[in-house]
Amino acid sequence: MTQASLAQTEFIESVLRLEPRVAAFDCDGTLWSGDAGEGFFSWEMEQGLVSEEIQRWARARYAQYKAGKVAEEVMCGEMATMHRGLREEVVQRAADEFFALGIAPNIFPEMRELVQRLRAAGSDVWAVSSSNQWVIRAGMRHFGIPQDRILTAEAVVESGVIMDRLIRVPSGPGKPDALREVLPSAPDCAFGNSLWDREMLAMSKYPFAINPNPNLKEIAAASGWRVYQPGTNHQSR
C-alpha cells in the first residue's frame, strides 16, 4: 500500500470512528473536482437543450454573476428555473449524459468509499448542493445516495414539466436552513470545500474541510476544523 493510499484509508477510518448518525456532504469540489452545475450550464447550451432566447439571456446573466452583479444564490436558482417549460425527463437524461462524460471521471475515490461505508454503517447521509437537482441526482447514483436524501437548487415540477418556481437554493446560510427542514438536529459530520459551505460546517459537531478553497482553508485553520486533500497524503486539524 502506498503512503498516499494509506493516508486515504486513515482519513476514512478517522471519520468512521466518529460513528456519525447523520452526515452532510457538499458535492462540487468536495465529492469530485470541478463544478457540475456550471459545467452542465455550459454544456447544455452547447447541446441546444434550451432555446436560443434562453441561451442569450443565460449567457448575459452569467456574465453579470461573474462580475459580482448577481448574487450566488440567485444565479444558482436561475440555473434551475431556466429549464422552465421543458419536460423533466429530458433534462434528467441530458444531466445523466453530461455527468457520465464530464464529472464521473473526476470523482474522488476515497470520498465515494467514505460515503458508501458510512451508509453501510447505518449513517443517514445527505447531499447538499447549490447545483440543480438533475445533475446532482445523476452524481448521487455513483455514491448510492437516494433521491430523498438530496437537497439541491430545486425547481418545482408539475405533471412532469419544470416550472419557473423554486423549492430551495441551498447556498451559504441556505445549506443549514435546508438541513433544519428535514433533520431534528444538526448533522454530526459535515464536509465542504468552499466559503458557501462555511455555515453547514459550523453547525456540525465534526466539520471537515475537503479540498478547501484558500478562504475556507483559512477559516478551517482558525476554527480548528479538520482538513483533508483528496488524492494526497495530507490530513490535518
Q: What 3 state SS string does 119-167 have?
A: HHCCCEEEEEEEEEHHHHHHHHCCCCCCHHHEEEEEEEEECCEEEEEEE
Cell of 110: 476515497
The confidence score (pLDDT) of residue 1 equals 42
pLDDT tens for 57-90 read 999 999 999 999 999 999 999 999 999 999 999 9
pTM given for the model: 0.93
Residue 233: per-residue pLDDT: 45
Q: Is the pLDDT of residue 163 over 70?
A: yes
Q: Is the pLDDT of residue 181 over 60?
A: yes
- The DSSP code sequence of the chain is --HHHHHHHHHHHHHHTT--SEEEE--BTTTBSS-HHHHHHHHHHHTT-S-HHHHHHHHHHHHHHHTT-S-HHHHHHHHHHTTTTSBHHHHHHHHHHHHHHHTGGGB-HHHHHHHHHHHHTT-EEEEEEEEEHHHHHHHHTTTT--GGGEEEEEEEEETTEEEEEEEE--STTHHHHHHHHH-SS--SEEEE-SGGGHHHHHHSSEEEEES--HHHHHHHHHHT-EEE-TTSS-EE-
Per-residue pLDDT, 232: 58
- Crossing angle for the helix pair 36-46 and 72-81, nearest 10 degrees? 40
Express each pLDDT in 13-29 by its tens digit.
Answer: 999 999 999 999 999 99
Report the pLDDT averaged over residues 97-122.
97
pLDDT on residue 6: 54
pLDDT band at 206; cut points 50, 70, 90: very high
48 Ramachandran zone, left/alpha/beta (phi>0; psi -120 to 50): left
Question: What are phi and psi for residue 116, nearest 5 degrees?
Answer: -65, -40
CATH superfamily of 3-236: HAD superfamily/HAD-like (3.40.50.1000)
Percent residues over pLDDT 90 in the chain = 93
**Alpha-carbon distances of 208 from 103, 115, 192, rounded to whole Å:** 22, 14, 7
**CB neighbours of residue 97 within 10 Å:** 15
Other CB atoms closer than 10 Å to residue 99's CB: what's the count?
25
Sign of CA dihedral 168, 170, 172, 177: positive
Higher pLDDT, 5 or 205: 205
Q: What does the block give as the cell for 76?
A: 444558482
Q: What confidence score (pLDDT) does residue 7 get?
A: 87
